[in-house]
Amino acid sequence: MAPPTLFLLVAASLTGIVPAGTAQFAIAAGMMAVMVGVFQLVMGLARLGILVNFVSHSVVVGFATGAGILIGLNQIAPLAAALIFQ
């Protein structure tokens, strides 16, 4: 399951274009996900990961730290549920 911040980003991006809660919104969100996936695939195949070298070190470290914290926090609920129902 995607982090809640991704849901907010997609909702904020599409709300001005398509009314939220409609079938069109779901289709637009799906198309956005496919487009992002294709973009990532093309960037990976073109070996454009080198572009990260142009981003400052503190930004990369901050992004990685934030991603780690978000992943850790999202695992607390499943871990607590597993410990309680053992």
What's the chain's average pLDDT? 84
**The pair of three-digit structure tokens given for residue 25, joined into one six-digit string:** 């919104």
Residues 6+ positions from 17 with CB-CB distance below 8 Å: 28
Instruction: Kindly report, residue by residue over 19-60, the tens digit of the pLDDT.
Output: 888 999 999 988 988 998 899 899 889 998 888 788 888 888
Backbone angles phi, psi at 26, to 5 degrees: -65, -40
Write down the pLDDT at residue 2: 59
Whose CA is closest to 28, among 9, 45, 15, 44? 15
| Per-residue model confidence (pLDDT) at position 27 | 92
Residue 74 predicted with pLDDT over 60: yes
Q: What is the pTM of this model?
A: 0.55
Which residues does 36 contact at the CB level (< 8 Å), separation at least 6? none
What's the mean pLDDT in 12-16?
85
